Amino acid sequence: MSWNTFGRLLRVTTFGESHGPAIGAVVDGCPPGIPLKEADIQPWLDKRRPGQSRHTTQRREPDRVKILSGVFRDDIITEQVTTGAPIGLLIENVDQRSKDYSAIRDKFRPGHADYTYEAKYGLRDYRGGGRSSARETAMRVAAGAVARKIIPQVEIRAALVQMGPHRINWDNWSWAEVDNNPFFCPDAEAAKVWENYLDSLRKAGDSVGAVVEVIATGAPAGWGAPLFARLDQDIAAALMSIPAAKGVEIGAGFRAAELTGSENADEIYIHDGQARFTKNNSGGVLGGISSGQDIVARMAVKPTSSILAPRRTITRSGEETEIVTKGRHDPCVGIRAVPVAEAMMALVLADQFLMHRAQTGRG
Amino acid sequence: MSWNTFGRLLRVTTFGESHGPAIGAVVDGCPPGIPLKEADIQPWLDKRRPGQSRHTTQRREPDRVKILSGVFRDDIITEQVTTGAPIGLLIENVDQRSKDYSAIRDKFRPGHADYTYEAKYGLRDYRGGGRSSARETAMRVAAGAVARKIIPQVEIRAALVQMGPHRINWDNWSWAEVDNNPFFCPDAEAAKVWENYLDSLRKAGDSVGAVVEVIATGAPAGWGAPLFARLDQDIAAALMSIPAAKGVEIGAGFRAAELTGSENADEIYIHDGQARFTKNNSGGVLGGISSGQDIVARMAVKPTSSILAPRRTITRSGEETEIVTKGRHDPCVGIRAVPVAEAMMALVLADQFLMHRAQTGRG
Amino acid sequence: MSWNTFGRLLRVTTFGESHGPAIGAVVDGCPPGIPLKEADIQPWLDKRRPGQSRHTTQRREPDRVKILSGVFRDDIITEQVTTGAPIGLLIENVDQRSKDYSAIRDKFRPGHADYTYEAKYGLRDYRGGGRSSARETAMRVAAGAVARKIIPQVEIRAALVQMGPHRINWDNWSWAEVDNNPFFCPDAEAAKVWENYLDSLRKAGDSVGAVVEVIATGAPAGWGAPLFARLDQDIAAALMSIPAAKGVEIGAGFRAAELTGSENADEIYIHDGQARFTKNNSGGVLGGISSGQDIVARMAVKPTSSILAPRRTITRSGEETEIVTKGRHDPCVGIRAVPVAEAMMALVLADQFLMHRAQTGRG
Amino acid sequence: MSWNTFGRLLRVTTFGESHGPAIGAVVDGCPPGIPLKEADIQPWLDKRRPGQSRHTTQRREPDRVKILSGVFRDDIITEQVTTGAPIGLLIENVDQRSKDYSAIRDKFRPGHADYTYEAKYGLRDYRGGGRSSARETAMRVAAGAVARKIIPQVEIRAALVQMGPHRINWDNWSWAEVDNNPFFCPDAEAAKVWENYLDSLRKAGDSVGAVVEVIATGAPAGWGAPLFARLDQDIAAALMSIPAAKGVEIGAGFRAAELTGSENADEIYIHDGQARFTKNNSGGVLGGISSGQDIVARMAVKPTSSILAPRRTITRSGEETEIVTKGRHDPCVGIRAVPVAEAMMALVLADQFLMHRAQTGRG
């Protein structure tokens, strides 16, 4: 991982600002011969796309991805496949609403990266958040769609499990329900509560945090490594690299701090000739290496700091002032973080699959 | 980060098993001219060393570090300094108690890496946990001591803030107290509670999880980067790479999920001509870049799975059985994770300092 | 360096095939605040562009570069500058002549990558050479133009010093002459010889190799490192990564093998208070680190294997056959390698400048 | 490659100075289950060891390597094998002759790294050359021995093919002869010429350059990649990273510049059902990827600058002076570069084998 590149062997480099002509990504290191067309990527982008309900920002972007390179078909290879060359992906920015940015040009929005960008770089592209815009995550979703094709044996799904103070009831979990509500909520009951809660927040011009849970099913035992190529370390880095993420946990996570050793360790037995575990406090990772169980991670997302209430802040020239962040914003950015978390998990797992294959010769 | 190397510009590579002749590390990329002698490293190792109270494993290792390379002094440069060459560090293993490992050779300890190592590599060095031994963390502490010398303006301290169900009272926080009890506990009241709690656990042959909080003071605004060299991402990776870590959070962390935008964002004002923040929910990181506030992270540590109660497990040949993990173990490995968390934070910050200096020419 | 990314801190990732919709690059790690507009890049691309004389391929591409991201200007910052974000660069492919590729689809062209791509990937994009097309080097030239802006104190120039058996006379060297002939030849006499020689080769449908010399002036002493971040190692890797390169040398290069120690070492003296060297057999690099002298490297370029004479080869299905490679080809690809060699040198030096600044705090 | 680490997946990090307590290396990313004991490494070190004839430096070091980690054996696995953990290697420095270094402390030896180290780091460890000592290459040879075990199907051999102005006759090439003379010379005739030549140089207190040729037999078609993981690029970087290397070439190398396309390209035919090439101007690499032919590279080594004739130089304080470099030196360092070149080729190939297996699933 360096600057704008994620991954060791499957390497994704993203570029582009919210208000430039386009955003893009290069997915490098993809194995050859994998079927890949734009229609494999677009559905994941559509899931992430804003403006699909009143609960997300009303910025409207078609987010049409183009594959610029790295794929091939001809008269003989009629299904388009990857060639092993880098896959260039591009999405043109369409809805670059020309507006007056002078307010945020001169003031630092609290909770945003304005102050730190300026401290680091001496300047910043303030239009639409520039590089820190949630828009960048579209390219992660596109790259993640490629990653999924590399490890088709693994199913990667995420859901929102907490919105503000309201958690789901895990006993109600239904993957089918996730697509039935605008929150990626696996608990129909909770979804109703959230709907009212979010409506009231939106009316108040406020926002709220959330927790995303991402689960990967089907990864074999053996992916990861003991020290600095740990699977759980990579997942933590991947999820924490998502804008607004403030916490990451694997399996029992912070709850593990409260457990005794006799409560925590997942016992092992044999079922149908296979090793099985009595529960999954480990979250599918032991000693940095996958155990064959579901890989389970959660990410805490903070509320967006773009709210209607005026906040104290300072100007670029160091004077105290107030700011109100108007515009098209998500009252709960955690919702749209769900497909992004899936994508980052897919990127980690595909990379670890390649690392494992490199060292051991097995998949 | 790759296999056993951590960092981009300040790169630490560790090697060695618990029961081999020695463990070691190479610290590469260190700036030249920095005063460094073994006495700068040893005190941090002494903090981590086991066997200093009844609350940690009774394995007794002097953990004497030797600097093998990368430093220089002569008649003119009388204070030993770094040369810019890689710094080789070595600790000889002394207490390699010769014992019978046949039980863990043939059985997988639940909650340990035994099963996943075997699944990945087809074999494992089971003596003392091999590469997954907590002993490896001694080299991180040694490397972290070097990192501290690179950024002397930053003070990095950690403490245990939760043991099992018992949290400290943050209002009681005293750094002075941290060295007054065997738990690195900043709350004298909590320390008393923990002492009794841990005694009872140890007698029961059980163990418990914990939460470590690490705080870095003095880092300027500007370290980090927006995407995949984020400061918070690096901290998450660094802490999650510590054995037994199951969760990581920055600033308000998982609590941020419960907050509204109006509650969460730290407002900005001017004090003594400097930007100040009304609180520190961000944990000192905005948009992946340090804000100049204290950098605050927490890590959840699971209980060690080595306990006296028999647990169900399977043998290497796939038969169901039971195992009891005897031996010298920490009832709360979170305690000894405290100096390790400090070291990993130091490594991240020194690396980010160099990255920032590279890109911007400023420190 | 990995897959399609070059550099450690200044990282260039290229993508795109000859006959896809576009080729592109991401230049990551660029310092902020550097003036950069398309007009800074285009002239270097124009130098490399084919079809400018009868001596290069008649493929005609305008090679118009677009900057997609990483730059900024507004009412206050009126000169467009870099922001520190990744710089996306794109060139649309225009002249994708639709033609019949069935000959090279089924046969491996000797001396080309056809056989090895197929052996590695199991398939290949044979249209226009796919990823191995010289077209990819346009993006290196574009990225190199960015690199030059990072180290404006360094002037990087290259020239063709040998075409087939005909070498220049180094005593005739004139940088002014380099732009006066279609060969980037610094020796007016040699240019005349080459013109006739190349005309005869083109008529014969043959091609020829060449040697490029690249010289960087103005780099201070101190860039590079002793072992695996050596400046000369990086230059060797950079030049050898150019398609058709078969050899690289620094300073006296292979001639150094013939010299005695008393002949070879450049003695040091003082001139105007500065260290000077009596000659430059070292090529400006001592122990992997720049000495402040001109950095001098040479690269041998093989003749293109696309010639009119029929050659023995085999088909994909393993049958012996013959092939004639028709089409628009360079009789001496070494000519167009000149701006590419400059670009790669610029990328190496800008990266090493950042590495040096990281470790030592000096530029 | 960064600072002191070489390789992407098989990663070697070296440390240690000539006159410190020890030199060492960490070989990381090695596949598990590979038989490895010290006796597999020692013979290669013995080949490189100085003091075995009058033609190399008389410094006498036993160069006994110790494996500190990453291997395992027990009652069941009785042949020691790698575990997949990092392999720590250590050689203690024995012959650290205590002598007066004041001459080179204050003066820069022309042709050495003294001036550039001082320019970069502001200080240098001048004892025995510190990090730039040829002694560092012992660790590369040790690491290369591990690499060989990863790709046992590949035989890697090198020879000296030119000493000063005296080249071998390639028609006389005999691998058997290489071990019959103290020069690793494959041509018995040339060896006699060299012996007299080197005796006269040594008596004159002078030194001379050389060319090493390294050949890898048995690598399959498919290792390498088109752009920045090119096999030829990696070989160039690997060989150029050896101290005193000034040039690198693959296959026809610089001679390719003189050839026409009709002369250069190796035609392809079928023999015993396998693709064969009529000659090997490509040096076994096409488009950055191995072709299955022998991989052939050459490296030019400059003469050591440590000679008895006084040379002009300057002091650290910038005054002109003279220097004579006494001590134990190799009149032709190219001789001892032979096993080092083999080791670097082995490291490149083993790394590329792992990279290829990662991306394609094949070996």
- Check CB contact under 8 Å for D121 and B5: no
Cβ contacts of A195-204, under 8 Å, gap ≥ 24: A195/A55, A197/A163, A197/A164, A197/A166, A198/A55, A198/A163, A198/A331, A198/A332, A199/A54, A201/A164, A201/A331, A201/A332, A201/B260, A202/A54, A202/A55, A202/A331, A204/A308
The secondary structure of residue B278, as a DSSP letter, is S
The answer to whether A57 touches A329, Cβ cutoff 8 Å, is: yes
Residue B207 in tokens: 């163990």
> How buried is residue B255: exposed, middle or buried, by Cβ count under 10 Å (0-12/13-18/19+)?
middle
**Distance, in angstroms, between C283 CA and closest chain A CA?**
31
Q: Is B71 helix (H, G, I), strand (E, B) or coil?
A: strand
Please answer whether residues B131 and D85 qualify as being in contact, where contact means their C-beta atoms are separated by less than 8 angstroms: yes
Q: C265: which DSSP letter?
A: S
pLDDT digits (tens, 9 = 90+) for B21-45: 999 999 999 999 999 999 999 999 9
Out of D32, D226, D354, name the one closest to residue A358 (CB).
D354
Question: D361 and A85 in contact by Cβ < 8 A?
Answer: no
What is the gyration radius of the CA atoms in chain B, in angstroms? 21
Mean pLDDT of chain D: 93
Chain D residues touching residue A9 (CB < 8 angstroms): 9, 355, 358-359
Q: How far is CA B291 from the centre of its chain?
A: 23
The answer to whether the CB of D245 falls within 8 A of the CB of D239 is: yes
Q: Each residue of B209-239: pLDDT tens digit?
A: 999 999 999 999 999 999 999 999 999 999 9
CA-based nearest distance C69→chain A, Å: 5
Confidence of residue B1 (pLDDT cuts 50, 70, 90): confident
Q: Is the Cβ of C363 closer than 8 Å to some Cβ of chain B?
A: yes
- From residue B346, alpha-carbon distances to B10, B343, C250 in Å are 11, 5, 39
- pLDDT interval class at C247 (50, 70, 90): very high
Instruction: Summarize the confidence of residues D101-113 as an average pLDDT.
Output: 89
Spatial CB neighbours of C251, under 8 Å, sequence gap ≥ 6? C280, C281, C282, C283, C284, C285, C296, D246
For residue D17 the two structure tokens come to 């100075």
Continuous H helices in D124-185: 137-150, 175-178
Enumerate residues 6+ apart whose C-beta is below 8 A from C138: C23, C45, C48, C61, C63, C91
Give the Å distances, CA to CA, from B276 to A253, A313, A319. Answer: 33, 9, 12
What is the C-alpha separation between A248 and A232, in angstroms, rounded? 10
Give A14's contacts in chain C (Cβ within 8 Å). Answer: 86
pLDDT digits (tens, 9 = 90+) for C251-280: 999 999 999 998 998 999 999 999 999 999
Taking an 8 Å cut-off on Cβ atoms, the answer to whether A257 and B232 are in contact is no
User: Could you report the per-residue pLDDT of B291-334, keeping only the tens digit for each?
Assistant: 999 999 999 999 988 788 899 999 999 999 999 877 667 899 99
Nearest by CB to residue A86, choosing from C3, C74, C81, is C3
pLDDT at C133 over 90: no
**How many Å apart are CA C208 and CA C198, to the nearest integer?**
8
Name the residue with tokens 């006759």. D169
Question: What residue type is assigned to position D355 of the chain?
Answer: M
pLDDT score, position B96: 63
C-alpha of B339 from chain center: 6
Q: Hey, what are D7's tokens?
A: 């390789």
So what's the ipTM on this one? Answer: 0.96
Nearest to D151 by CA among D214, D226, D86, D217: D217
Question: What is the torsion angle, in degrees rounded to the nearest 10, for the CA atoms of residue B38, residue B39, residue B44 and residue B45?
Answer: 50
CA atoms of B318 and B354, how far apart (whole Å): 50
Residue-wise pLDDT for A332-352, tens only, equals: 999 999 999 999 999 999 999
**pLDDT-wise least confident of B277-286, C316-325, D157-166, D349-358:** C316-325
**pLDDT-derived band of residue D328, with 50, 70 and 90 as boundaries?**
low
For residue D344, the surrounding DSSP H or E stretch is: helix D333-360
Four-residue CA torsion sign, B329, B331, B334, B339: negative
Residue D19 is encoded by which pair of tokens?
A: 């006159």
Instruction: Give pLDDT tens digits for C50-98.
Output: 767 777 776 677 889 999 999 999 988 999 999 999 999 999 998 665 5
Give Cβ neighbours of residue A304 (< 8 Å, ≥ 6 apart). A111, A207, A244, A329, A330, A331, A333, B261
Q: Is C103 in the D-facing interface, judged by CB distances under 8 Å?
A: no
CB contact under 8 A, D360 and C110: no
Neighbour subunits, D (≥3 Cβ pairs < 8 A): A, B, C
Q: How far is CA D250 from CA C288, C306, D212, D215, in A?
A: 21, 20, 12, 10
Range D166-183 average pLDDT:
97
> What is the model's pLDDT at position A327?
64
Predicted confidence at residue A291, as pLDDT, reads 98
For residue D130, name the pLDDT band (cuts at 50, 70, 90): confident
Q: Which of A9, A32, A360 sits opposite D32 (nearest CB)?
A: A360
Helix (H, G, I), strand (E, B) or coil at A329: coil
- Closest CB to A275: pick one of B257, B263, B314: B314
Could you tell me how many helices (H) and strands (E) chain A has, helices first?
Answer: 9, 19
Summary mean pLDDT of chain B: 93
User: Higher model confidence: residue B101 or residue C238?
Assistant: C238
* Tens-digit pLDDT profile for residues C213-227: 999 999 999 999 999
Residue B38: the pLDDT is: 97
Taking the CA of residue A294 and the nearest CA in chain D, the distance in Å comes to 24
Query: pTM, whole model, 2 decimals?
Result: 0.97
The sign of the torsion formed by the CA atoms of B330, B335, B339, B344 equals positive
Are the beta carbons of C260 and D201 closer than 8 angstroms? yes
Q: Name the range with the highest mean pLDDT among A102-116, B51-65, C298-312, D232-246.
A: D232-246
Given a contact cutoff of 8 angstroms between Cβ atoms, the answer to whether A312 and A322 are in contact is: yes
- What value does the CA radius of gyration of chain C take, rounded to a whole number of Å? 21
Q: How far is residue D125's CA from residue D105's CA, in Å, rounded to a whole number?
A: 9
Considering CB atoms only, which of B8, B88, B122 is closest to D24? Answer: B88
Question: B348: closest CA among B277, B252, B242, B212?
Answer: B242
Mean pLDDT calculated for residue range B272-297:
97
Report angle CA D67, D134, D38 to the nearest 5 degrees: 15
- Tell me whether B196 touches chain C (CB under 8 Å): no
Longest dimension (CA), chain A: 70
Residue A310: how many CB atoms within 10 A of its CB? 11
Q: State the burial class of residue A120 (Cβ atoms within 10 Å of its Cβ: 0-12, 13-18, 19+).
A: buried
Q: Which of D228, D291, D302 shows the shortest C-beta gap to C4?
A: D228
**B27: closest chain D residue by CA:** D15
With beta carbons less than 8 A apart as the criterion, state whether A135 and A50 touch. Answer: no
Contact B26 D13 (CB under 8 A): yes
What is the C-alpha separation between B66 and B83, in angstroms, rounded? Answer: 17
Q: Over the stretch C6-29, which tens digit does the pLDDT of each residue have?
A: 999 999 999 999 889 999 999 999
Closest CA to B89 of B34, B171, B25, B40: B25
* A–B interface: beta-carbon pairs under 8 A: 382
Q: Nearest CA to CA, how far is C114 from chain B (Å)?
A: 33
- CA-based nearest distance D247→chain B, Å: 25
Residues 46-65 of B with CB under 8 A from C: none
Write b or e for each residue in B31-43: b if 16 or more Cβ atoms lie within 10 A of its Cβ, otherwise e.
bbbbebebebbbe
Please write the tens of the pLDDT for every residue from B89-142. 999 998 665 567 877 899 999 999 999 999 999 999 988 777 878 889 999 999
- Burial label for C99, CB within 10 Å (0-12, 13-18, 19+), is exposed
Residues of chain A with pLDDT under 50: none
* Residue type for position B277: F
CB half-sphere exposure, D319, CA atoms < 13 A: 3
Which pLDDT value is given to residue B48? 80
B357 Cβ under 8 Å from any chain C Cβ:
yes
Q: Could you give the CA distance from residue A250 to residue A213 in angstroms, rounded to a whole number?
A: 10
* Structure letter (DSSP) for residue B214: E
Tokens of D171: 């028609």
B 305-344 residues with CB below 8 A of A?
305-307, 309, 311-314, 318-320, 334
pLDDT digit string, tens, across residues C166-190: 999 999 999 999 999 999 999 999 9
Yes or no, beta carbons of C31 and B360 under 8 Å apart: yes
What's the mean pLDDT in D4-28? 96
Question: Whole-angstrom Cα distance, residue B259 to residue A163?
Answer: 9
Query: Which among A3, A225, A304 has CB closest to B227?
Result: A3
Tokens at residue B141, please?
Answer: 């502490």
B217, β-bridge pairs:
B155
Q: Tell me, what amino acid is at B232?
A: D
Q: Does C293 touch chain D (CB under 8 A)?
A: no
Would you state the pLDDT for residue A328?
61
List, edge to edge, every strand of the sheet that includes D289-291: D221-224, D289-291, D285-286
Q: What number is the average pLDDT over the span C323-348? A: 90
